[in-house]
Structure 1
Amino acid sequence: MSAATDVRATEVHGPIDFLLLEFPAEGLTGEASRALADLVERGVIRIYDLVVVSKDEDGAVDVLELTNPAHGASTFSYFHGARSGLLKDEDVTEASSAMRPGTVGALIVYENAWAIPFVAAARHSGGEVVANLHIPAADVIAALEALEPAHD
């Protein structure tokens, strides 16, 4: 089963997130797409939408076909057809405005499938999510580094 076909509606969902990854247009290796496919295959996440865009040096944006080997997007061909409708054209436009010229971006809407059993158990016992916040990794790293003792 491909990553794009496993987005059936269920009663319980894990947290659903949006992620924009930016890569230099030159030298794409496919390593990130392989790691993402591994997360899907292991059931850690479920992909709802994946769109790859390029932004040329003049700032022009182009949505790339995932199966076209002439574009850097082909490394994400495993996710061809991953379009749930959650990610709209306006979202692509807004996300691409955050990208630097000369880059390729992967816009991903994904569900944290690992959390589904926990969410189901919480709901079964009357629990509901009342707040949810994602802390940027850079902030966590900075906070942890601040805790490290100073070296003389």
Structure 2
Amino acid sequence: MAPESIEEMGPIDYVVLEWPGRQPKGDAAPLILELVDRGIIRILDIALMVKAEDGSIAAIDLGELDADSGFAEFQGASTGLLSQEDLEEAANALQPGTSAAVLMWENRWAAPVAVALRRSGGQLVASGRIEIQAMLAALEALDPSAVTS
């Protein structure tokens, strides 16, 4: 990535997604591809791995995936920003007997705001995300009838 293009980028996010078993069914990948096609996000890096029952980790080559997984479409998505250390840290979070996708993307929808913020001398000083499970638990604590199964 050229330095001038970095100045024009939106915020960068990463996620570690986990599925039971060897590989996902493919429900999420088409939705991620749709976000890419619509210009909402740009995939910077993606890695897939499995964690065996004994705790050992193995990388999955995107080119070797079943077409049904949907992740084969991301073959070649790599900027090198996702390091081996990042992948090892992600693997530590996985349960044995699971597979995972680690994705890093640019939020292109937010790029104009990020660029304007940087040009005005502003900077991001904190960021976070509330997981849906935490939100549901908080809502249920406030009013158990507010959360339906």
Q: TM-score, normalised by structure 2?
A: 0.81
The answer to whether the 8 A contact 1:19-1:108 is kept is yes
Residue 18 of structure 1: aligned partner: 14
SS of the aligned residue for 2:62 comes to coil
Within a 5 Å distance, the mapping from 1:1-150 to structure 2 comes to 9-25=5-21, 28-69=24-65, 75-148=70-143
SS of the aligned residue for 2:28 comes to helix
- Percent identity of equivalent pairs: 42
Q: Could you report, residue by residue, the CA deviation over 1:39-89 in whole angstroms, capped at 9, with x for unpaired residues?
A: 1111121111100001122222110110113698x5311111111111111
Q: 1:126 and 1:54, CA in 2 relative to 1: closer, same or farther beyond 3 A?
A: same
> By how many angstroms is 1:103 displaced?
0.9
Residue segments in structure 1 that go unaligned for 5+ positions in a row: 1-6
The answer to whether the 8 A contact 2:65-2:71 is kept is no
Q: Number of residue pairs matched?
A: 144
SS of the aligned residue for 1:31 comes to coil
More helix by share: 2
Find the aligned partners of 1:99 and 1:106 in 2 and give their Cα distance. Answer: 11
